[in-house]
Amino acid sequence: MVDLVIDIENTPGALAQVAAAISDAGVNIAAATCIGPGERAELHILVPHADAAKHSLAISHLAVTREREVVVVDVEDHPGVLADLTGKIARAGIDLDLVYVATRNRVVFGSPDLDAVRAALGVRR
């Protein structure tokens, strides 16, 4: 999956506009997180079909500022799951620069070394 980053105005309806554009492309949003208490916000959207989403966003005058592959891990929903996963990553000496929770009990990890994250967690590509 791909994490798309969209720089948006932090105003009512901004997220709705992004969600509608991606929906119009027929692309499912698997996760979303937004960071930014000021006038601008950084919206992260996890999608399985980045090209279709980016095209529809561009038509709607919304630009993807960055995109990257991420590691998505299926997990059971119970206390300690995130601690266990991040503990494995920490013991392997890997830096994370992105973590958020996705639909269907999944955790998303971004790192400069995705192969190392996969190895630490025993996840296949």
Mean of pLDDT values over 106-115 = 97
In what helix (H) or strand (E) does residue 100 lie, and over which residues does it extend? strand 98-102
* CATH number, span 2-69: 3.30.2130.10
The structural domains of the chain, with segments of one domain joined by +, span: 2-69, 71-121
pLDDT, residue 37, reads 87
* CATH number, span 71-121: 3.30.70.260
**Class of residue 1 by CB neighbours under 10 A (exposed 0-12, middle 13-18, buried 19+):** middle
Render pLDDT for 40-88 as a digit per residue (tens, 0 to 9): 999 999 999 999 999 999 999 998 999 999 999 999 999 999 999 999 9
